[in-house]
Structure 1
Amino acid sequence: MATFDSFFSKRTLIGLALGQFVSLVITSTAFSSSELSRRGISVPTSQSFLNYVLLAIVYGGFLVYKRKRSLQIKWYFYLMLAVADVEANFLVVKAYQYTSLTSVMLLDCWSIPSVILLTWLFLNTKYRFRKFVGVAVCVAGLVLVVFSDVHSRDRGKGLPHFKYGSGGSDPVKGDVLVLSGAMLYAVSNVSEEFIVKKGGRVELMAMLGLFGAVVGSCQMYPEILANI
């Protein structure tokens, strides 16, 4: 059992503050993606491309500067990881064209039960009963969100001032895209957990940035042409 002093320790408070800051950044990114989709700009892969480039430059520089050994993980594993991560970002950002910002933010939590399932199957991670209860509550909430979006079109009939109850042109399609992207996020995160223990954080971030930039550059070219 955690004591009162340990809960409010400096380490815990710093972690809590950083978590809130990350949540704010993610929300800002989601709002920007939703606004771009509302204005008819569809560049889901291009929006994430700079992130991979920065990872490749920063962590790649550290890797080249301090490298004293060969890569601990084969390059094709990093390529598969990059494909999963790039496509996860693509699917979730693409979903903003069809469903609401709220639905995307909520359904993205599908990655939590997916991560638990994958770590239990492939990393032999053990979980207590309370965590399964939390996951069950999470899944129940996601089912309610999908159920609401399925019937949003019926609720939207006769309401000329609103574009369906969910705020999107095809909420069900958007929900499917989000759930698929969340599953790929889970695959990416679990793979990162496995790789970071073998190859280290610097190697993981550098290779993910490098291959993510390569995959993203190949995929975003048609996007740019379609929006010109």
Structure 2
Amino acid sequence: MNCDGLWSKKNLIGLGLGQFVSLLITSTGFSSSELSRRGINAPTSQSLLNYLLLAFFYGGFLVYRRKPLRMNWYYYLLLSFIDVEANYLVVKAYQYTSLTSVMLLDCWSIPSVIFLTWLFLKTKYRYRKFAGVAICVAGLVLVVFSDVHASDRGGGSNPLKGDMLVIAGSMLYAISNVSEEFLVKKGDRIELMAMLGLFGAVVSACQIGIFEGNELRSIHWTAGAVIPFVGFALAMFLFYSTVPIILKISGSTMLNLSLLTSDMWAVLIRIFAYHEKVDWMYFIAFGAVAVGLVVYSGGDKIEDENTNQLEEVDKARDEEAAVDSFVAGSAAGNTSLSTEDELHLPLNLVVKER
């Protein structure tokens, strides 16, 4: 295996940024856990501050440039609605089903993203890509078995309802990721973030007014509540700011595969920060996901070079076939070329004949 394509600058940046956003997701999970431990259950309100940061930060650049939108505004409104509801459904699922079931969210998002990118973005996946996905999913399955083995699985108050929320949330995440990939490649990253922040804040504010008004009024805003609230928003702001870069470099499938390692980083934090014991399967799973990411990201350059070489070979064969046809025609006494014949010959042969 040629490692030049594997360790190319593009792939290394994609892998590095993927793990950066994975750590950000891990930090948001711990922030949410801390808020939940304090009895604060307002998932949409947590997201609102993130959308406001996106709107003010990137909106300032958008206003300064004074350029018309590259994409129609209603695309961003629809994307924002999907994104807000995806976040809401996934957080809500924790109230009804087990941690193990929610972890399957990542696994379900990957085939959804692959199908959507193949269907709408016409993305072509080679066998190497599917192998990388399979290895990553195998690592996630090991995590699930580890939870079962360690008796960490709780039934939840309504597992069926929770599982349906997880499936719905994963599909919305897949649609959101693929839509962002399309918009960032066809449009502009600054515009995407500004409009996502603006419409996301509007949708979140409406939803908070309907579902979370009483919850917010009952919160006792101490430092212990404000710090994880703000920390969650800052981590999400960095996450949303980095995601379009990954989508442009590596695509939405690579993004979702990278996010699989967030569970593994959470395990490491549990070990070193909270001194908790974890099952040995976690370490094997972490290695499997890491290998899967490398396999998925590697080989792009090699495959592109092979494709170019095949195209050159096909072109050379076409020229040889044209020469053979010309020679055969000359042997039969057809030494003059018609205009139609010239169109099928390489230019250098036509000039030489004349």
Relative to the length of structure 2, the TM-score reads 0.52
Residues 1:224 and 2:222 aligned together:
no
**Match of 1:111?**
109
CA distance in 2, matches of 1:20, 1:142: 16
CA distance in 2, matches of 1:166, 1:186: 27
CA distance in 1, matches of 2:65, 2:2: 39
Aligned residues: 215
Pairing 1:61-140 to 2, within 5 Å after superposition:
61-68=60-67, 70-135=68-133
Q: 1:11 Cα deviation (Å)?
A: 6.1
> After the TM superposition, which parts of structure 1 deviate over 4 Å for at least 4 consecutive aligned residues?
9-15, 133-149
Report the 3-state secondary structure (helix = DSSP H, G, I; strand = E; otherwise coil) of the residue aligned with 1:45: helix
CA distance in 2, matches of 1:115, 1:25: 21
Aligned partner of 1:41: which letter?
A: I
Post-superposition CA distance 1:83-130 (Å, at most 9, x none): 000100111111222234454344233221111101111111111133
CA distance in 2, matches of 1:146, 1:13: 29
Q: 1:199 Cα deviation (Å)?
A: 2.0
Aligned partner of 1:113: which letter?
A: P
Report the 3-state secondary structure (helix = DSSP H, G, I; strand = E; otherwise coil) of the residue aligned with 2:123: coil
Q: 1:214 Cα deviation (Å)?
A: 0.4
Change (3 A) 1:148 1:98: farther
**Match of 2:225?**
none
Residues 1:211 and 2:199 aligned together:
yes
Contact 2:98 2:153 in 1 (8 A): no
Contact 1:107 1:142 in 2 (8 A): no
Q: 1:226 Cα deviation (Å)?
A: 3.9
Change (3 A) 1:14 1:166: same
Contact 2:52 2:201 in 1 (8 A): yes
**Match of 1:32?**
31
Residues 1:179 and 2:177 aligned together:
no
Change (3 A) 1:76 1:147: farther
Contact 1:108 1:182 in 2 (8 A): yes
Where does the alignment leave 5 or more consecutive residues of structure 1 unmatched? 153-161
CA distance in 2, matches of 1:199, 1:89: 24
CA distance in 2, matches of 1:180, 1:104: 11
Contact 1:107 1:175 in 2 (8 A): no
Q: 1:45 Cα deviation (Å)?
A: 0.9
Q: 1:166 Cα deviation (Å)?
A: 2.6
Q: 1:185 Cα deviation (Å)?
A: 0.9
Residues 1:195 and 2:183 aligned together:
yes
Where does the alignment leave 5 or more consecutive residues of structure 2 unmatched? 219-354
What's the C-alpha RMSD, in Å, of the aligned pairs?
A: 3.3
Aligned partner of 1:120: which letter?
A: W
Change (3 A) 1:172 1:39: farther
**Please, which moves more after superposition, 201-210 or 127-136?**
127-136
**Please, which moves more after superposition, 94-103 or 206-215?**
94-103
Q: 1:138 Cα deviation (Å)?
A: 6.1
**Match of 2:17?**
18
Change (3 A) 1:16 1:99: same
Aligned partner of 1:208: which letter?
A: L
Q: 1:140 Cα deviation (Å)?
A: 7.3
